[in-house]
Amino acid sequence: MRRQKVVVLGGGMGGLTAAWRLSEPGWKTEFESITVYQRGWRLGGKGASSRGASGRIEEHGLHVWLGWYENAFQLLRECYEELNRPVHDPACPVQSMSDALIPSGTIGLAERRNGALRPWVTEMPGNGRSTLASKAGRELTAVDFAVQVWRLVSRYFEGTAGAPSSPGFNPVRTAATGVAVSSAALITEAARLVGLREPRYNAETLEFGTGMSGSGVTGGSEAGGDGLHRTWQGVALMTAAIRGIVADRLLTDPRGLRTINDEEYLDWIERHGGPSELRDFSIVRGLHDLAFGYVDGDPTRPSMSAGTAVLFGGKSLLDYKDSFIWKMSAGMGDIVFAPLYEALHRRGVTFEFFHRVDHLHTSRESNRIEAITIGRQVRLEPGRSEYEPLVSYGGLPGFPAEPLVSQLSGATGIERHPLESHWCEWPDVERRVLKRGVDFDVAIFAIPPAMGRLVCTELLADRPEWRDMVDRIGSVATQSLQLWIREPERSLGWNHPGSTVSGIDAPFGTWASMAHLIDVEQWPTGDRPGTIAYFCGVLDAPPIVESAPAAKWKAEVRRRAVDFIDHDLGGLLPGAVGANGFRWDLLCGSGGGGDSDLLDSQYWRANIDPSDRYVQSLPGTDRYRLRSDESGYDNLFLAGDWTDSGLNAGCLEAAVLSGLQAANAVRGRSRDHRISGYFLP
Ligand SMILES: Cc1cc2nc3c(=O)[nH]c(=O)nc-3n(C[C@H](O)[C@H](O)[C@H](O)COP(=O)(O)OP(=O)(O)OC[C@H]3O[C@@H](n4cnc5c(N)ncnc54)[C@H](O)[C@@H]3O)c2cc1C
């Protein structure tokens, strides 16, 4: 039988995962070739990062791995084992999976009080469910579940009475405070549910009135009004969720959590008795920040489908292994995409960089993709057969911030053009048409729907389900900011190294302490940062495709960043603010000076390209996602976080799940073949 030629269109996490599973040892007996087509000079898509001046890491936005990303961990583990750097690259500073990912269980939520940000930080408890070591992972058992709930509750008690690391920690006082606060919260919620008065909270006096005479609690301590108020909100949220799960029969309905995916999460919580003030609860805002769940990027309009929110929130809290969050020990490009490139390349997968997919052409008669038009952005220098995209940064291979012009022909000035952007004006050097039966047999479409709208016009004209998919699945632009600050975090007043804090309001819902990257970057002595801070959030840019609004939105993000730094950063890093506001001369790479123009030496992005828009999980959209094997065409399969993978949320695990499912479909295997974990049915 003739071996098939596979093309993977798009080199993000979904496409590369499909290529990884298809190219397992022995693949050449089944396939003649596997070729990845990617516009521009690097891989990674929404997760791409590269190295700029002084080897600094420049990301699309903060990327963390949640501790339950079982299939993504497994993929990376396989990749590092196969690379075998101890033998092939012993000088590389990241040798294995355990060098690549760092447990980062310190998380926080920000609350705004009297106009100022007030972060609430805790260390999520570890557990013995190893992510790095075990290959197969272990399913959550009922005992694990109960123990994990107990760990979370005890850690919360510690937070209300003083953390164990603090000198004043006293286990007896912790237990007593925990029991007192929880009892008060439970009584308050019970009273509310049976129709007594609504609890009231005054953020200025920190007074929490429970609605029962004489039971108001006052005080500035965590155990006082603030702690009780938060505990009551947590109890009210859990009570409503449990009521909802039982009343909507989610555990017995064969459609499981999908049953409620047409409903908005907070509406569902309210339908089951949750108070409306949960809309402002920091944990609820943190969940929406994690999933960029805001309609049109408007932070006042949180929205997630209820089933996905319960699945995502539940897995995040209860199903993590070892650590709640894992951070990468360098950029996502260095830790994930460069190793995947190296290992795939070694397996014999071909990469066609600088190849932009322009159109998929169909045939009604054959029900197949017959041709693919590609715009070739640049030619390689004469005599060169392939582009080699990686550069060594302190011994670690990674993608540079610009194409390596020395490998290209006639490319003077190309580095100033945004080759990954839909609005790039650099002229193509060639129009290539890949033909079925000649250049490919099977195609894996790994390009998100907002870009699919532009390149799949024939499929859209042909099939209503494609039109529904691109019209109905919501997406949102995002903005990010990275600051390199000379002084260490502690001297700036932040005492939670490695923490990730969400629930901050616009423009950046999340900030992360990333000082572990200082030694990975190549800063000159005298201009070395002591703090690296990443910020990320939604952006209210509409999905415009006709004109080129990139410059406008980049300027807008800069303006918002200056405003945020001037007005809000002091709530997180008080020491960075002096009598005249933010001390701009603290910024590295600026060469000294003193005003907001120095921000230009830092890094920020407006992620507005159709392909860069974050794919959301809005209510009522689930049904319009297509599965990897549901393209409707016999030789076309789908991979990416936008498909119906069973997770249906924009995250690395969803992209990996989908890539694995696409590979399973190409091979004619069952959808969940060699996939772990519990997801939507
Ligand atoms: C700011 C931000 C922060 C995030 N943070 C996290 C996080 O902390 N944790 C987490 O798990 N997830 C996070 N995500 C989500 C995560 O990045 C995505 O789920 C994942 O990267 C999606 O992978 P994908 O392969 O589905 O799509 P993409 O990454 O979008 O891949 C699509 C690929 O196709 C290429 N492409 C597009 N158009 C064309 C064309 N015409 N021709 C050729 N190639 C093309 C793109 O360049 C890209 O390489 C974040 C996303 C954003 C935007």
Q: Nearest residue CA, atom 15 of ligand 1?
A: 651
Residue 681 lies in a domain: no
Instruction: Compute, in angstroms, the gap from residue 393 CA to the centroid of ligand 1.
Output: 24
The answer as to whether 676 is a domain residue is no
* The token pair that represents 627 in the structure block: 């599965």
> Rounded to the nearest whole angstrom, what is the distance from the C-alpha of residue 255 to the centroid of ligand 1?
28
Phi, psi of 459 (to 5 degrees): -70, -35
Residues 450 and 505 in one domain: no
Compute the distance from residue 47 Cα to the ligand 1 centre, in Å: 5
Gap between the Cα atoms of 543 and 169, Å rounded: 51
Q: What is the CATH number of the domain that holds 402?
A: 3.50.50.60
Asked if residues 191 and 212 have their Cβ atoms less than 8 Å apart, the reply is yes
CA atoms of 93 and 522, how far apart (whole Å): 14
Q: Please give the number of the atom of ligand 1 that sits closest to the Cα of 37.
A: 43
* Contact call for residues 488 and 680 (beta carbons, < 8 A): no
Containing structural domain, residue 534: 475-611
User: In terms of domains, do 596 and 643 share one?
Assistant: no
Does residue 256 sit in the same domain as residue 314?
A: yes
The answer to the question of residue 660 being in a domain is yes
Rounded to the nearest 5 degrees, what angle is found at the Cα of 589, between the Cα atoms of 583 and 592? 45
469 and 598 assigned to the same domain:
no
* Residue 680 falls inside a structural domain: no
Q: How far is the CA of 457 from the centre of ligand 1 (A)?
A: 21
CB 14 less than 6 A from any atom of ligand 1: yes
Q: Are strands 49-51 and 500-502 parallel, antiparallel or unpaired?
A: unpaired
- C-beta 60 within 6 A of ligand 1: yes
Q: Are strands 475-485 and 531-539 parallel, antiparallel or unpaired?
A: antiparallel
Q: Assess whether 457 and 566 both reside in one domain.
A: no
Q: Residue 662: CB within 6 Å of ligand 1?
A: no
The CA-based angle 662-364-639, given to 5 degrees, is 15
579 φ/ψ angles, rounded to the nearest 5 degrees: -60, -30
Q: Which of 10, 3, 7, 19 is closest to 435 using CA atoms?
A: 7
**Residue 279 near residue 302 (C-beta atoms within 8 A):** yes
Please work out whether the CB of residue 71 comes within 6 Å of at least one atom of ligand 1: no
Most distant pair of Cα atoms in the chain: their distance: 85
End-to-end CA distance of the chain: 35
Tokens of 675: 């996939």
Instruction: Tell me, yes or no, whether 262 and 193 share the same domain.
Output: yes
Given ligand 1 and candidates 65, 514, 611, 653, which is best to mutate, with the most ligand atoms within 8 Å of its CB?
A: 611
Residues 443 and 531 in one domain: no
Same structural domain, 533 and 483? yes
**Ligand 1 closest atom vs CA 536:** 1
Last residue of a domain, one of 304, 325, 346: 325
Q: Check if the beta carbon of residue 262 is closer than 8 Å to that of residue 622.
A: yes
Q: Are 264 and 276 in contact (CB under 8 A)?
A: no
- Whether 204 and 263 map to the same domain: the answer is yes
For the chain, list residues with pLDDT below 50. Answer: 136-138, 163-167, 213-220
- When divided into structural domains, the chain yields a total of 3
Please report, as a single letter, which amino acid is at residue 318. L
For 181, the token pair is 């606060």
pLDDT of 219: 43
Q: Are residues 569 and 504 in the same domain?
A: yes
Q: Using the mean position of ligand 1's atoms as its centre, give its distance from the Cα of residue 612 in Å.
A: 6
Q: Is the CB of 256 under 6 A from ligand 1?
A: no
Atom of ligand 1 nearest to the CA of 10: 34
Side-chain half-sphere exposure of 225, counting CA atoms within 13 A: 18
CA separation for the pair 638, 644 (Å, rounded): 10
Q: Which residues contact 625 (CB under 8 A, 6 or more apart)?
A: 469, 473, 642, 643, 644, 648
Strands 368-376 and 577-578, sheet pairing: unpaired
- Name which residue sits closest to atom 20 of ligand 1, judged by CA: 652
CA of 59 to the centre of ligand 1 (A): 12
Centroid of ligand 1 to alpha carbon of 270 (angstroms): 33
CA of 534 to the centre of ligand 1 (A): 18
Distance CA 202, CA 213 (A): 16
Q: Is the CB of 659 under 6 A from ligand 1?
A: no
Residue to probe by mutation, ligand 1, list 59, 424, 447, most atoms within 8 Å of CB: 447
Helix crossing, 70-83 with 13-22: angle to 10°?
A: 60
In a domain, 598, yes or no: yes
CA of 445 to the centre of ligand 1 (A): 13
In a domain, 674, yes or no: no
Domain stop point among 278, 307, 325 = 325
Residue 13 in contact with ligand 1 by CB distance below 6 A: yes
479 found inside a domain = yes
Q: Is the CB of 655 under 6 A from ligand 1?
A: yes
Element (H, E) at 235: helix 227-247
Query: Closest Cα to atom 16, ligand 1: which residue?
Result: 651
How far is ligand 1, taken at its centre, from the CA of residue 48, in Å?
8
320: in domain: yes
- CA–centroid distance, residue 421 to ligand 1 (Å): 13
* 63 in contact with ligand 1, CB cutoff 6 A: yes
Does 565 lie in the same domain as 576? yes
457-497: per-residue pLDDT in tens?
A: 999 999 999 999 999 999 999 999 999 999 999 999 999 99
Ligand 1 centroid–CA 46 distance in Å is: 3
Q: List CB contacts of 132: < 8 A, sequence separation 6 or more.
A: 73, 77, 97, 98, 101, 322
Is residue 38 in contact with ligand 1, taking CB distance under 6 Å?
yes
Mutate to test the pocket of ligand 1, among 20, 46, 553 (most ligand atoms within 8 A of CB): 46
Any ligand 1 atom below 6 A from CB of 42: no
Domain match, 202 and 317 both: yes
The tokens for 268 are 């569902």
Of the residues 325, 357, 380, the one at which a domain ends = 325
Ligand 1 within 6 A of 480 CB?
A: yes
39 CB within 6 A, ligand 1: yes
Q: Does the CB atom of residue 641 touch ligand 1 within 6 A?
A: yes
